[in-house]
């Protein structure tokens, strides 16, 4: 990894990142002195790099020098030309299938089984799904009353959550890509944390009809409230509360039982990444993910633009051509989606990413894919699709934290692990979110917002395996209800945010 002043990831790298901010004149290695002040996590040239030559980090080209760079120079985003993305037509599949995954310390958890035989719940929630934004005002008031007046009577129910969204009407409902938001909403109704108890609130005249949202057998008087069929505000509120209480009574008899980890579906996501994310937090999460897969669990990782530049690496881990071809199809769809918006994947990095040392999307992507570990990839999902296989899955979603998390929820994710370098209070109402930070400074600043600190990996006080095992045990404890993650403790919940690439009319 290099000396304490800098970190070099791969022996072929011609750059390292600074462990802390360093001043000009500081010797960071035996033969390298910083030529300028260099911020924490930023790159320093380990040799002279001529104009136009390749800049290498993680053992891969992350770009080309726009000017001559001297040994010891600070390299930032303004000095690097973005390379072309990897070709999608020359990929190899199933040539790097790792089987020697780390053994997990546990193979069971305490979860809520569901009658459909699918993934178990990690929480016991009454979820109320809306067909259109028009009903949000009344529903939010009703949920407030449910929590105040009804929920205390049913102590085994963790929460009541309204799944509001900006879809349902004023949209091109029959447009080809409308299938994405419709699929997300159709699948969220059956989220494992809802225990099979369907409750849907409809206005009555919207384009997203009940038939699109629900299976035929679920469109019943017990499950649905249609505002335009009820006489006035007070009657609507009374009907919502009455049906909610019926659901709460059923949910209250749910109990946790010991289950194999094959009943657990975990999502991996990162946001507010920095140059340390791919060194500490993401590799530790990848190690924990491999443990989960070895134990029989299913793990999803996502974020298309943060995989695109490492897609050839992901492709080699796909178990067969069928999975690989679905990966290609999702990448090509997203390439076209960005092109239609007259942007490319370079639009992804944020100012915070760059301040944290990530110069471009290639560097960000190479660190991002580390959270998927080394497990073979058994399935690729379109946004909001539900898995049909168990193991490591790539769920193609936007990289937006809120949209990615919502897509993973629609795919049935019941616990999310979220890696961050810059810090974010992100959380989800429908599933607990464990926060993992990449550096000690972040944990020191947000002691009560970060659950796991991967920073000791940088200082040598812990290994990737140490933090990965710590995270694995944290996941089992949180999934089992033995403890709350901090976002859950404080009730930090971002909105359920649909991915809607179809036209709004």
99-109 pLDDT, tens digit per residue, is: 999 999 999 99
Measured distance CA(442)–CA(435) in Å, rounded:
11
pLDDT of residue 29: 85
Find, among 467, 355, 472, the residue nearest to 417 by Cα: 472
pLDDT of residue 16: 95
In terms of DSSP H, where are the helices of 300-455? 311-317, 321-340, 351-355, 361-368, 401-410, 440-445
Q: Is 258's pLDDT higher than 60?
A: yes
The tens digit of pLDDT for each residue in 292-306 reads 999 999 999 999 999
Helix (H, G, I), strand (E, B) or coil at 413: coil
400 burial class (0-12, 13-18, 19+ CB within 10 angstroms)? middle
Q: Tell me what percent of the residues of the chain surpass a pLDDT of 70.
A: 99
Residue in 259, 370, 390 with CA at minimum distance from that of residue 307: 370
Decide if 213 contacts 128 (C-beta within 8 A). no
Cα 412–Cα 418–Cα 421 angle in degrees, nearest 5: 160
List, in sequence order, every residue forming a beta bridge with 49; answer none if it has no partner.
69
What are the DSSP E strand ranges found in 11-79? 15-18, 27-29, 32-33, 43-45, 54-57, 60-65, 74-75
For residues 65-79, average pLDDT:
96
Q: What is the pLDDT of residues 448-501, one digit of tens each?
A: 999 999 999 999 999 999 999 999 999 999 999 999 999 999 999 999 999 999
Q: What is the DSSP string of 379-390?
A: EEE-TTPPPSS-
What average pLDDT does range 187-208 have in this prediction?
Answer: 97
- Indicate if the pLDDT at residue 2 is higher than 80: no
User: For 171-209, where are the alpha helices, taking DSSP H only?
Assistant: 179-188
Query: Would the CA dihedral through 314, 320, 321, 323 be positive or negative?
Result: negative
Q: Could you give the CA distance from residue 426 to residue 451 in angstroms, rounded to a whole number?
A: 12
* pLDDT at residue 3, as a whole number: 42
| Burial of residue 335, with CB atoms counted within 10 A of its CB: 0-12 exposed, 13-18 middle, 19 or more buried | middle
Three-state secondary-structure class, residue 135 = helix
pLDDT greater than 60 at residue 291: yes
What is the SS3 assignment for 241? Answer: helix
Instruction: Name the average pLDDT for the chain.
Output: 96
- What average pLDDT does this structure show over 259-285? 96
Q: What is the mean pLDDT of residues 176-188?
A: 97
Residue 100 CB contacts under 8 Å (≥ 6 apart), including other chains: none
State residue 4's pLDDT score.
Answer: 56
């Amino acid at each position: 990894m290099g000396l304490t002043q800098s970190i070099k990831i791969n022996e072929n790298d011609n750059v390292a990142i600074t462990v802390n901010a360093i001043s000009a004149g500081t010797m960071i290695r035996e033969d390298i002195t910083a030529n300028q002040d260099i911020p924490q996590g930023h790159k320093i040239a380990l040799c002279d790099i001529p104009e136009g030559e390749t800049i290498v980090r993680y053992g891969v080209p992350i770009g080309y020098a726009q000017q001559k760079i001297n040994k010891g120079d600070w390299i930032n985003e303004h000095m690097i030309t973005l390379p072309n993305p990897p070709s999608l037509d020359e990929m190899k599949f199933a040539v790097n299938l790792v089987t020697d995954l780390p053994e997990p310390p546990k193979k069971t958890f305490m979860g809520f089984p569901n009658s459909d035989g699918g993934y178990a719940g990690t929480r016991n929630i009454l979820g109320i799904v809306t067909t259109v934004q028009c009903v949000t005002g009344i529903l939010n008031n009703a949920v407030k009353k449910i929590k105040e007046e009804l929920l205390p009577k049913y102590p085994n129910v963790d929460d009541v959550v309204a799944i509001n969204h900006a879809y349902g009407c004023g949209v091109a409902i029959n447009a080809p890509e409308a299938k994405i938001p419709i699929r997300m909403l159709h699948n969220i109704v059956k989220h494992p944390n809802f225990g099979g108890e369907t409750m849907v609130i409809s206005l009555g005249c919207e384009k997203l009809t009940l038939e699109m949202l629900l299976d035929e057998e679920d469109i019943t008087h017990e499950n649905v409230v249609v505002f335009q069929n009820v006489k006035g505000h007070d009657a609507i509120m009374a009907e919502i509360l009455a049906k909610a209480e019926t659901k709460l009574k059923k949910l209250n008899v749910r109990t946790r039982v010991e289950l194999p980890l094959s009943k657990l579906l975990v999502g991996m996501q990162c946001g507010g990444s920095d140059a340390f994310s791919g060194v500490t937090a993401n590799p530790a999460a990848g190690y924990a993910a491999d443990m989960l897969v070895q134990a029989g669990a299913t793990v999803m990782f996502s974020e298309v633009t943060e995989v695109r530049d490492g897609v050839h690496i992901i492709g080699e881990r796909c178990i067969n051509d069928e999975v690989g071809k679905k990966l290609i199809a999702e990448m090509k769809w997203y390439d076209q989606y960005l092109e239609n918006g007259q942007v490319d994947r370079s639009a992804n990095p944020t100012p915070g990413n760059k301040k944290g040392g990530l110069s471009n999307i290639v560097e960000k992507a190479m660190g991002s894919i580390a959270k998927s570990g080394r497990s073979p990839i058994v399935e690729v999902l379109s946004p909001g699709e539900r898995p049909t296989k168990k193991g490591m899955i790539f769920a193609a979603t936007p990289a937006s934290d809120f949209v990615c998390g919502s897509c993973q929820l629609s795919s049935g994710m019941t616990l999310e692990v979220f890696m961050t370098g810059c810090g974010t209070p992100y959380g989800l109402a429908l599933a607990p979110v464990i926060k993992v930070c990449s550096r000690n400074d972040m944990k020191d600043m947000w002691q009560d917002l970060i659950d796991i600190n991967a920073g000791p990996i940088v200082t040598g006080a812990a290994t990737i395996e140490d933090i990965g095992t710590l995270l694995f045990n944290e996941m089992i404890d949180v999934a089992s209800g033995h403890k709350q993650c901090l976002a859950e403790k404080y009730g930090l919940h971002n909105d359920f945010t649909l991915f809607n690439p179809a036209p709004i009319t």
